[in-house]
Structure 1
Amino acid sequence: MTVTPGDLDAAIASVTDSLREASGRDWTAAPGTGELNAWRTAEHLGDCLISYAGLLIARPSAPRFVCFEAVADQAATPSELLEFVTVGGGILGATLRTMAPDVRAYHPSGRADLEGFAGMGCVEVLVHGEDMARGLDVTLDPPRDVCARVLARMFPEVDTTGVDPWRVLRWATDRTELPGRSSRAGWQWRGAPLGE
């Protein structure tokens, strides 16, 4: 099960379409990820996606992130923040589509291949999207086939048998509980290719 740039596109479209329902609300007053409000979470998400593209393009020789931060204009509306996320995803997707298939780049979770970066982008979009959706009282309904492929690549140790893959992905990233399964506090995805 390969995670592709098309999966990233589908995750972004699903999340931004759902969050657009709340574009008339005050995102600075709604919870997002951790201590961040929904506005800052959207900004962080756009930065993550662009940052992953930067890692693939620069491929620094030392184990480090590329030294920049993408930020939204302080006056950006929720609709403009969703545009920022879409642009970040488009930059990462275009980078993934134009890189040689053997390209690898640094990430703390292991030197990731293109599939790993596509999977990381999907996880970022889906889980930060879920954080914002909860704070804005919106329900996300991402494509389950995308969630299943992301789980198989990024969390190969997780058993998905008989459970909705979107629910399992939220559990794998410590956003919800699953009966009979322990907490995933301190979770980490697998950036390095499977089999390494």
Structure 2
Amino acid sequence: MITPDDLDTAVTCVVDALRPTVDQDWSAPAGSLDWSCRTTAEHIAQAHLHWATQLAVAAQTKYVRWSATAQELAPPAGVLDFLEAAGRILALVVRATPSSVRAYHPWGIGDPEGFTAMACVESLLHGHDLTSTLGNPLDPSADLCARILARAFPHEPQPTEDPWLNLRWLTGRTEIPNTPTPTSWKWRPTPLNETWTPAPEAAPMPFTPLPLPTSG
């Protein structure tokens, strides 16, 4: 089981690893991503806030259309505050949301636990991207990583006894000798005892500008 306390733990793990790096250049790419460290940190916060919104209104068919970013001139320390605040907000919303609530995600209709597990994935994997560049290693607990895999990725293989290694391997962030790296992956927002029908393609993220209507 994944709980709001686990999300608080994941966010704390990331924030504690990144706090000593706020005087570095956050315009550099985060790990193997095309995004800068700043953009990656903002993305974590955006995901958490949007999932809090999905649960708050039990959105059924699409993302609630709004966007949030750190202030344009905010230094890395301010962006990190944004990341932490967003994670804490989602944890508070999950605590206040009945387990019976279901909400839309492009990869399946999720329950509060499913959104919490996804948020832990976002925090730890993008936290790893950030620390790979900024140089202060991320070291989440094996127990938390094992439970994240069990809830969000029960359909995926676990080739080693190291759940943090398995999580990074599954999402293309490291290699395991003699074990082909998956070419794609999806997490499962839907409860394990319910039918999971993942959408074939992810819908546009809510902070992606909508196209202007064409004149007829």
Q: TM-score, normalised by structure 1?
A: 0.93
State whether residues 72 and 84 of structure 1, in contact with CA within 8 Å, keep that contact through their aligned partners in structure 2.
yes
Q: Give the secondary-structure state (helix, strand or coil) at the position aligned to 1:116.
A: helix
Q: Give the secondary-structure state (helix, strand or coil) at the position aligned to 1:127.
A: helix
- Residue 175 of structure 1 and its aligned partner are, at CA, apart by 0.9
Which residue is equivalent to 1:56? 55
Q: Give the secondary-structure state (helix, strand or coil) at the position aligned to 1:94.
A: helix
Q: Aligned partners of 1:186, 1:167: CA distance in 2, in Å?
A: 17
Q: Give the number of equivalent residue pairs.
A: 194
Please tell me the root mean square deviation across aligned C-alpha atoms, in Å: 1.4
State whether residues 50 and 88 of structure 1, in contact with CA within 8 Å, keep that contact through their aligned partners in structure 2.
yes
Unaligned runs of at least 5 residues, structure 1: none
Q: Give the secondary-structure state (helix, strand or coil) at the position aligned to 1:26.
A: coil
Alpha-carbon distance change, 157 to 60 in structure 1, aligned in 2, over 3 angstroms: closer
The one-letter code of the counterpart of 1:7 is: D
Q: Aligned partners of 1:187, 1:162: CA distance in 2, in Å?
A: 18
Q: Give the secondary-structure state (helix, strand or coil) at the position aligned to 2:56.
A: helix
Q: Which has the higher helix share?
A: 1
- Residue 33 of structure 1 and its aligned partner are, at CA, apart by 6.2
Q: Aligned partners of 1:56, 1:4: CA distance in 2, in Å?
A: 15
Q: Aligned partners of 2:25, 2:66: CA distance in 1, in Å?
A: 28
Q: Percent identity?
A: 41
- Residue 160 of structure 1 and its aligned partner are, at CA, apart by 3.4
Which residue is equivalent to 1:129? 127
Q: Which has the larger radius of gyration?
A: 2
Q: Aligned partners of 1:154, 1:183: CA distance in 2, in Å?
A: 18
2:170 to 156, 160, 172: 172
State whether residues 160 and 166 of structure 2, in contact with CA within 8 Å, keep that contact through their aligned partners in structure 1.
no
Which residue is equivalent to 2:30? 31
Q: TM-score, normalised by structure 2?
A: 0.85
